Structure 1
Amino acid sequence: MVDFEWYRSFCTIYKHNSVSEAAKARIMTQPAMSQHLAALEAEVGEILFVRTSRKLIPTERGKELYSQLAPLIESLEETTMNFKSASLPTLMVIKIGAAHEFYTEKILPRLHKYNMSTISSLGTADQLIELLKEDKLDLIITSKRYQAPGIEYQKLMDEEFVIVAPSDCEIPDTDNLKSMEQWLSSQNWISYGLDLPMIRRIWREHFKKRPQIRPNHIIPDLHLILKAIGNGAGLSAIPTYLFESSANERTKVIYEDLRVKNELFFAYKLKHKHLPQIHEMMTLIRKDI
């Protein structure tokens, strides 16, 4: 007789292509996970994965079995979570994390609309993923997809970054990329970090090279960077949603064709995938952006 836990272990191994990573995700020992897989393969009568030196590759029978099992298991887990939540207080609590700027512009103005209590943490992508791993957060919004066991990602949106300059900055009128790159390289720059996040992306996508820039100022806050630009401190890369909400006569977008896109993702623990507050929060944020 097949044990339901064998099916859950099989689906987790399928997602991670690894027994050890699946064991971490399910908080099991690796031998126990291997036993589940071996027992299921014995019951099915066929090998479900081909073992290579780096990962497990599902066989055609494994793919077929996963396509049948995955929706059934997800439905059962969701039903279980909904049943559990029925006995909880009506006002749900969610621990959410995001970058300061995104939270300020996209979540904070709409917080009063959310029919749930929130515990918010603000920080960098690296800081937030660590809090998520430690179960100190339920849901984060991040621009980085880390190869971390037991973490699942869903696309939220594309944000666009543009080059913003002081409004009185005189811009050469040229369509020549080489001339643009030379002029931009000669300007003072303000960066979010020493590795020139987004500035480096603009150079690679449009000029096909690394930027030869040493920023004059490092300010890890986009709101403050935008203020510094308005004060004449230099140029920087700013997301359009932030510029549009905070723009004033002291700043302007230059060379609009040099804009770049950056993906934002929801991230949460795979084991918490069916928590109703996670689904509700993701739905609310998506609705409002």
Structure 2
Amino acid sequence: MVDFEWYRSFCMIYKHNSVSEAAKARIMTQPAMSQHLASLEAEVGEVLFVRTSRKMFPTERGKELYSQLAPLIESLEETTMSFRAASLPTLTVIKIGAAHEFYTEKILPQLHKFNMSTITNLGTADQLVELLKEDKLDLIITSKRYQAQGIEYLKLMDEEFVIVAPSDCEIPDTDYLESLERWLSSQNWISYGLELPIIRRIWREHFKKRPQIRPIHIIPDLHLILKAIENGAGLSVIPTYLLRNSANEKTKVICEDLKVKNELYLAYKLKHKHLPQIHEMMTVIRENV
């Protein structure tokens, strides 16, 4: 007879493509998680994942089984949440964390829709996850998934980054990536940090190399970077949602093929998974990003 916990473990492995990551998410040992999968595969009579040195990929039977199980397990967990809601502690105040720019553009306009009070902490992904681990935050929006026991991540959205320049910037007419890379490297760049976040991603994904850039200005605020570009200080990389909300004639997107995407996640403690206030806040955020 199949144990329901085998199904839960299977779905978690499917989401994480890893037994070890799934075990951390379920707060289980890796051997126990592996045993759940082995038992389910024995019951099904087929291999459900192809194992590689780094990841596990579902077989066609694994994909079919997940498509059948995922909605059923979600429904059961929602039912469990409704049963437990009455006995769970009530959070009259939700402590939420996000990057300053994302909070300003995406969450602040929705505050009136929250049926609860909030305490906000703005910071980097590293800072926010530490506060979450210490129970100083209940819910965070982060671009990084850390290997931390007892924390669950749900994908929120893809944010798209593009190269933005002053409107009078003249771009060379060339189809050669090498020529374009040389021209971009010769420009004045404004960066969020010394490590060239996102700028480095663009170089690695499109030019297959590290950027040879020394930024002329370091400004750890995307709104201020956009203002600096408007004033002709240089080029930078900006998320498209910020441009949509700050449309003006002083800047323009250049080299549109060189865009990159970044995944954003909602993260919370597993022990708070069934709190209705957490789910209510996540629902409002997800409906309005």
TM-score by length of 1: 0.72
Instruction: Find the aligned partners of 1:243 and 1:57 in 2 and give their Cα distance.
Output: 37
> What are the within-5 Å matches in structure 2 for residues 1-289 of structure 1?
25=25, 74-86=74-86, 93-149=93-149, 150-165=151-166, 167=167, 169-177=168-176, 178-249=178-249, 251-269=250-268, 271=270, 272-289=272-289
Amino acid at match of 2:256: D
Instruction: Find the aligned partners of 1:275 and 1:201 in 2 and give their Cα distance.
Output: 37
Name the SS for the 2:127 alignment partner.
Answer: helix
Instruction: Find the aligned partners of 1:22 and 1:181 in 2 and give their Cα distance.
Output: 40
Amino acid at match of 2:264: F
Instruction: Find the aligned partners of 1:176 and 1:29 in 2 and give their Cα distance.
Output: 53
Name the SS for the 2:82 alignment partner.
Answer: helix
Moved more, 100-109 or 84-93: 84-93
Q: How much has 1:190 moved relative to structure 2? A: 0.8
Q: How much has 1:132 moved relative to structure 2? A: 2.5
Instruction: Find the aligned partners of 1:279 and 1:160 in 2 and give their Cα distance.
Output: 29
Instruction: Find the aligned partners of 1:5 and 1:170 in 2 and give their Cα distance.
Output: 59
Retained in 2: the 8 A contact 1:100–1:123? Answer: yes
Alpha carbons of structure 1 residues 93 and 181: separation in structure 2 relative to 1, 3 Å = same
Q: How much has 1:211 moved relative to structure 2? A: 1.6
Retained in 2: the 8 A contact 1:143–1:264? Answer: yes
Structure with the greater alpha carbon radius of gyration: 1
Note the alpha carbon deviations across 1:135-186, whole angstroms, 9 max, x for none. Answer: 3323222222334344333242333323233x3x441441334333222211
Alpha carbons of structure 1 residues 87 and 93: separation in structure 2 relative to 1, 3 Å = farther
Instruction: Calculate the aligned-residue CA RMSD, in Å.
Output: 4.3
Instruction: Find the aligned partners of 2:69 and 2:184 in 1 and give their Cα distance.
Output: 55
Retained in 1: the 8 A contact 2:143–2:263? Answer: yes
Instruction: Find the aligned partners of 1:81 and 1:12 in 2 and give their Cα distance.
Output: 18
Q: Percent identity?
A: 69
Instruction: Find the aligned partners of 2:277 and 2:85 in 1 and give their Cα distance.
Output: 9
TM-score by length of 2: 0.72
Amino acid at match of 1:206: H
Alpha carbons of structure 1 residues 81 and 136: separation in structure 2 relative to 1, 3 Å = farther
Moved more, 273-282 or 209-218: 273-282
Alpha carbons of structure 1 residues 201 and 18: separation in structure 2 relative to 1, 3 Å = closer
User: What are structure 2's unaligned runs of at least 5 residues?
Assistant: none
Moved more, 214-223 or 15-24: 15-24
Stretches of 4+ moved more than 6 A in 1?
A: 1-23, 28-31, 54-59, 61-70, 87-91
Alpha carbons of structure 1 residues 130 and 22: separation in structure 2 relative to 1, 3 Å = same
Retained in 2: the 8 A contact 1:163–1:254? Answer: yes
Name the SS for the 1:194 alignment partner.
Answer: coil
Instruction: Find the aligned partners of 2:170 and 2:205 in 1 and give their Cα distance.
Output: 21
Instruction: Find the aligned partners of 2:200 and 2:56 in 1 and give their Cα distance.
Output: 36
Instruction: Find the aligned partners of 2:281 and 2:241 in 1 and give their Cα distance.
Output: 20
Q: How much has 1:217 moved relative to structure 2? A: 1.4
Amino acid at match of 1:164: A
